[in-house]
Amino acid sequence: MSFPSKPLSLALGWTAFIVLLLSIPGRSFPSTSLWEYDKIAHAGLFFILAILWLRAMPTGRRGFTLSFLLVGVAFSGISELYQGMLPFDRTPDLYDSLADAVGFIGGTLVWILFNRPKSES
């Protein structure tokens, strides 16, 4: 039996961590408004998620970045729908989903910026 590579293990573990956080009853978290720490935390979690998955995956295929972004943004929406399906105090929040998507897109853009092929002069 072979184990996943370290980068893949980190990406899978971080994804599982996010799903675990999504599964905690809402009354366990403080109430926040749009610009408070909750949205920053959402964006940060998905920023890291994007970077970990980009590190774990081969990224050289044509059209990869667009597909990757679409999957990440879809996951941000699905994660909120998942919370709405839970049988306890969790409700979906459009602003959480937007913060997730912004974080994921930001992580992807930072990855692209720092992993561009170096041009030879």
Instruction: Kindly list the domain boundaries of the chain, sorted by start residue.
Output: 34-114
Other CB atoms within a 10 A radius of the CB of residue 16 amount to: 10
In which residue are the tokens 């366990």 written?
28
Tell whether the model's pLDDT for residue 13 goes beyond 80: yes
Section 13-24 average pLDDT? 92
Percent of residues, the chain, with pLDDT higher than 70: 83
For the segment 45-57, the average pLDDT, to the nearest whole number, is: 95
Residue 107's Cα: distance from chain center in Å? 9
Top-confidence range, 4-8, 31-35, 60-64: 4-8
Mean pLDDT of the chain: 85
- Inter-CA distances, 68 with 7, 102, 104, Å: 17, 14, 10
What mean pLDDT comes out for the span 69-78? 96
Q: How far apart are CA 64 and CA 67, in angstroms?
A: 5
Give the mean pLDDT of 85-98.
87
Average pLDDT over residues 65-93: 90
| Both tokens assigned to 14 | 């971080």
Q: Which of 6, 5, 14 is nearest to 51 (CA)?
A: 14
pLDDT score for 23: 87
64/58 Cα distance (integer angstroms): 9
